[in-house]
A and B are shown apart, each in its own frame.
Chain A
Amino acid sequence: MIGFLLGEALRDLRRAGRVAASAIVLISLSLVAVGAFWVLSFNLGRAVTEWRERVRVIVYLRREVPPAEVPALLRRVAALPDVASARYVSKAEALASLKRVLGKDAAVAEQLPSNPLPASIEVTPTAAGATPGAAHALIERLASLPEAEEVAGGVEWVERLAQWQRLLATIGLGIGGVLALAAILTVTTSTTLVLHFRREETEIMRLVGAPEIAVRLPLLLQGLVQGLVGAGLALAVLLAGHRLAAPRLEPLINLTVGLPSLDFLTPPAMLTILCAGAVLGAFGGMLARGRRAAT
């Protein structure tokens, strides 16, 4: 019987014509909006994660620590809260690093009468320590070490990136939500229209004792089909948009947030969009049923 009822739902969709098509388009638009912001937010999230992992706090030391004392100092630093790891960088290593950065201009460093660079400890905070508040507290703790001359490092800009990511996700959900509401109302309208078209069928079904599910299921299936078609279209549009835009945007994204590529939605995210479409459609169909029951 399910096959027959699905056939009835498709027949009803054809009857609803333009209204059903409008509902599909609106579902697509709402999911394209959500999906597009999801792609942006997802990629910004990747950048935030990557940058959080790269956050370092540098403790510049007053003097070079004798090699025998380095392990004890590192153990003391590693024991502080929110410290994931600590690495000692001697004056010589710092100079070598500078020369690597200078590249062909490294000869400039050779001209120096002595090595002016201080020894330092490179501290990697834990994930919890990479938030602005925690990082600030960590910097204060490191600055109170007797060996510390100065502490540098901050995570505010990473947090600003994370705020952008949250803002994008919220905007996407907001626009998608408004469009989804419109889509639900359109599905409800198209299903109500179908209810009007099929009032004779419904009358006969009730007269001959068809179970209630046989009367109502086509409405639900109709909405579900509209939702799935809308979601499928939305994914196709998003994929095409990504294929077109990604190669053009990737150099800019690489330069600004350091991501090598602009990734598309993951399979679970695509499945979520399909399910969201189905739920939107089915909900619209159910609302029409409720209206009918109320009358």
Chain B
Amino acid sequence: MIEFHRVSKVYEVGPVKVPALADVSFRIGKGEFVVVSGPSGAGKTTLLRLLYGEEPPTEGDVEVLGQPIARLSRSRIQTLRRSVGVVFQDAKLLPGRTVYENIAFVLRVTGTPRREITARAFDALRAVGLSSRAQAYPAQLSQGEAQRAALARAIVRKQPLLIADEPTGNLDEEMAAEVLAIIKDIWARGTTVILATHQARLAAALGRRKLVLEGGRLVKDEGG
């Protein structure tokens, strides 16, 4: 499903070159739950950005859902992204829209037939236990609820791949546990999950395959 082959990524800031990933190779099969861990600045976010085509690799090949990211046109990357759900540390909900509207927005802009939108949005809200808060605005949600809404948005198109970048980074322990339980539930229904975290305890607790990055290098691939 996903393959990194000798991938390096260097950011150029003016004349300065900042290496973010160096010679990283791994494969992830369909239905796996992979935790990408490492300290801040290890290259976790860069690795995830390469996965959803936000950045091209400087060297090496990245293949996602059978598509070579570096060789895809802008429109093909957009098409690929329709199969990838992404959640971030901050929920990135649109403040002027209700929870339901935030989720329906994704369906509308990706061309889902109008008659299917309500049913699919509520399916996603039920999956994250948030259907009772459908008409609430983001400002009225707790951080845990906001992150659950973001998860609902990430799975509303029944994407086969979910990428979560520090999804519990802003949450207290109880809320983090709730969100992780939902992510595990999404994975149990067949979605491939790649979750990045700098919290070593959390990575250990998830007990799945772990990719450990340090200084942009993959130093450990265990549990696969």
* B187 within 8 A of partner (CB): no
With contacts A4-B108, A214-B109 known, is A209 near B92, CB below 8 A? Answer: no
Give chain A interface residues in 214-251, CB to chain B under 8 Å: 214
List residues of A (192-212) whose CB comes within 8 Å of B's CBs.
Answer: 200-201, 203-212
Distance of A207 Cα from B95 Cα, bound (Å): 17
**Chain A residues near B84 (CB-CB < 8 A):** 209
In this complex, the member of B75, B78, B84, B105 whose beta carbon has the largest number of chain A beta carbons within 10 angstroms is B78
Residue contact B109 to A207, C-beta cutoff 8 Å: no
Asked whether A1 is an interface residue with its Cβ less than 8 Å from the other chain, the reply is yes
Whether the Cβ atoms of A204 and B110 lie closer than 8 Å is: no
Give the shortest distance, in Å, between B63 (CB) and chain A (any CB).
17
Q: Report the Cα distance A100→B175, complex, angstroms.
A: 106
Write the B93-116 contact mask toward A (1 if CB under 8 angstroms, else 0): 011000000000110111100000
Q: Is the CB of A200 within 8 A of B92?
A: yes
Given the interface pairs A200-B92, A209-B82, the reply to whether A1 lies near B74 with Cβ below 8 Å is no
Complex contact B81–A207 (CB within 8 A): yes
Question: B43-89: which have CB < 8 Å to A?
Answer: 52, 74-75, 77-84, 86
A1: contacting residue among B81, B86, B111, CB under 8 A: B111
Within 8 A of A (CB), among B112-146: none
| Bound Cα distance A200, B105 (Å) | 12
Residue numbers in B under 8 Å from A204 (CB-CB): 92, 94, 105-106
Q: A200-B92, A204-B94, A204-B105 are in contact. Are A209 and B80 (CB under 8 A)?
A: yes
Question: In the bound complex, do residue B81 and residue A212 qualify as a contact, i.e. CB atoms below 8 Å apart?
Answer: no
CA distance A205 to B153 in the complex (A): 12
| Residue in B closest to A197 when the chains form the complex, CB atoms | B96
Q: List 18 A-B contacts (CB under 8 A).
A: A1-B108, A1-B109, A1-B111, A200-B94, A201-B94, A203-B92, A204-B94, A204-B106, A206-B78, A208-B110, A209-B77, A209-B79, A209-B80, A209-B81, A210-B78, A211-B110, A211-B111, A212-B74
Write the residues of chain B forming the contact surface with A, with a CB cutoff of 8 angstroms. 52, 74-75, 77-84, 86, 92, 94-95, 105-106, 108-111, 153, 157
